[in-house]
Structure 1
Amino acid sequence: MQLMKPIPNLQLISLLYRSPAKDPAHQQHNQILTRLNNLEAGFYGEEQVAYQLRYLPKGKFKILHNIRLSYQNLHFQIDFLLLSPHFHLILEVKNIIGELDYDPVFQQLVWTKIDGTRMGLGNPISQAQLQKRQFTNWLKKYNLPIAPIYYLSVMSNPKTILKTSPNHQGISKLIIHKHSLLQRIENLLIGQTNESISKNDVTKIARKIKKKNEPLFLDVLSKYNFTKRDMQGGVQCLQCKTLPIPKKENRTIWNCPACGIVPHHSYESAITDFVLLYTRHFSNKELREFLGLTSASTVYKLLKKMDIQTVGRKHIFPVENIQKFAQKDFINE
């Protein structure tokens, strides 16, 4: 399955390209880049787990990734949700290098990093109970049928060492390595032979989740003390990253003077940068100023090519278009 990179990752990539923090000497550069690298490591771990899930029997599960739902004005996030008529399985993915030791006295995981430093990661048992309760309540809220719900914390990095005392081996039922995932799911299927809900119910639940999914958007400008004036507008060359590049007169084509490339779709990335940094709801004038254009009709044509919805005088940028048109990596020059 092909995963979509989370919105916060894409926002930080846009911020690094468009803000003064692109300069490695800027005081915020290392902070933003470190945060992005941590998010990218987490996403890489999820890709490793997704690779394992490819080997599940076809048609047995509906697999949803990076789900963020709301219940009683509080949000909860699920890395992977596997839906089936037999049961639902919540997967939390951790990409950790080092040693994890479960402390039953204080009920927490202790992470010893490769440099010897230690930190607590919370109680996986409590986390499992909380996520199961949150998802159950969400299903009840929409009068959706409920199947048994299970939870696993999956270590995506094979270098992670898992430890606990001999008297608390039960924690291994919740925390596993990715290479054990398929066997664990198979064991759940063996133990849950009867269908609790129908396949139509599973489809209905998956459809409702996709409809109610609320991807996380960060206010990256406020978080890192930038303003709109700090952002570099214009269209960026996707080949050499020159910003801005000029538009050819009377045409919706930009030409890069640095590398000579005519990047036909660079405007799509630029518009998506605007959305990631500012808002999904915007006027023609706001976008025109960001792109450095004077013609409202030119902006209208660009948005029409991207199939952007217009309501009144506002344009609404779909979340799925963000995933489609955003720059996926930051090249640290």
Structure 2
Amino acid sequence: MIIKNHEPPHKLLVAESLKRRLITQHHFYGKVNEIFLMERAGFFGELKVDYPLSKLNFKHVIAHDLRLPFYQNYFQMDTLLLNPRILLILEVKNLPGIVSFDLTANKMIRTRDGVTDYYDDPVIQVKEQAFQLSEWLETHGYSNVPIEYLVVMANQETILDIDSSYHEHLEKVVPIYGLSQKIRSIYSSYSTDFITYSNLFNLGQLMVDHHTPAKVDLMKKLGITKENLIRGAFCPKCSAVPMMWKGRRWQCWSCNHRSLTAHLPGLKDYYLLLGDQISKQEFMWFMNLKSDRTAKHLLNKENLIKNGSARGITHELNYNLEKDFNDIIF
């Protein structure tokens, strides 16, 4: 049973939105596109574990992209499988090429097309997640919970080259085609339950209730201002911008396509890039509207929660990362 589905990373959504709202000649467009491609590859890699997990023949509960509080910080797990015998953390990597490890430097090394890239060792990363999860469970009344962890290489073009003396990495790093068998093997090595299945579900729901999505201010990090953004509604048919509001419709200057809802993706962009509160004046500016009355009508039509009073009224933008943005990523 899946109690929490995959959730597009906030950083991926922000990068996608920012890429659309920057001219290609902007000096940070290339960097934003690089971040977008890297985040999307990572997210698509996480989706690939669904198939091998669907082949498991024992009762389990699954939570994807779970981010839990840990003292003054947070820790995030790509996928957590909960079973009455064990909890299993999966850290997913989607890296084509030859992958090896350097235990002296605590690095994972990927070589592809003559280019070598270095990453933090994911085995150390997921082992730390297991420690943090154990501590989190202790604070919520669950002691001595068996926790296992694996690093999953989700790309079929990954070639693992692990030194024969690196015993932990040989044991914990698995290609995705061997994931189902590996999990069954781990499951079979435990013979007793630490919790009932009904209580396991309650534990999983407790974790989901404490989940807090990460948020990234990519514009601030890169020094991009709102004045750098392309304003207006994009045409749903040809992507031309800005559409014009004419005759109670958005109309495209390029292909003449008309739409009632072309401003809705713009509200999502505003939410991701500029914040979750938008005033009528800010909406007019961002959507390139000339009419105060039109802006008021379009905002009121969405039945958004209002804060403040008189000219200080703002409308609350409230989106769910898991449910409201898959149409953008896919």
Shorter-chain-normalised TM-score: which range? Answer: 0.7 to 0.9
What's 2:46 paired with? 46
Distance in 1 between residues matched to 2:287 and 2:327, nearest whole Å = 16
| 1:1-333 correspondence to structure 2 within 5 Å | 3-19=6-22, 22-23=23-24, 25-57=25-57, 60-104=59-103, 106=104, 108-144=106-142, 147-249=145-247, 251=248, 253-293=249-289, 294-295=292-293, 297-304=296-303, 308-310=304-306, 313-320=313-320, 323-325=323-325, 328-329=328-329
Distance 1:247 1:57, change over 3 A: farther
Give the drift of 1:149: 1.1
Ranges in structure 1 where 5+ consecutive residues have no aligned partner: none
Distance 1:244 1:259, change over 3 A: same
- Answer yes or no: is the 8 Å Cα contact 2:91–2:126 preserved in 1: no
- Answer yes or no: is the 8 Å Cα contact 2:123–2:151 preserved in 1: no
1:144-164 CA-partner distances (Å, limit 9, x unpaired): 566311111000112212123
TM-score if structure 1 supplies the norm length? 0.85
Distance 1:150 1:298, change over 3 A: same
Hey, which of these two has a bigger chunk of strand by percent? 2
AA aligned opposite 2:226: K
AA aligned opposite 1:254: W
Give the drift of 1:245: 0.7
Give the drift of 1:64: 1.7
Give the drift of 1:113: 1.3
AA aligned opposite 2:153: M
RMSD: 2.7
AA aligned opposite 1:199: Y
The total of aligned residue pairs comes to 320
Distance 1:135 1:187, change over 3 A: same
TM-score if structure 2 supplies the norm length? 0.86
- Answer yes or no: is the 8 Å Cα contact 1:5–1:323 preserved in 2: no
AA aligned opposite 1:87: I
Distance 1:314 1:64, change over 3 A: farther
Find the residue that maps to 1:200 and give its secondary structure: helix
Ranges in structure 2 where 5+ consecutive residues have no aligned partner: none
1:155-196 CA-partner distances (Å, limit 9, x unpaired): 011221212333334422210000111111111222224221
Give the drift of 1:120: 3.8
- Answer yes or no: is the 8 Å Cα contact 1:102–1:164 preserved in 2: yes
Find the residue that maps to 1:287 and give its secondary structure: helix
Q: Aligned residues: percent identity?
A: 26
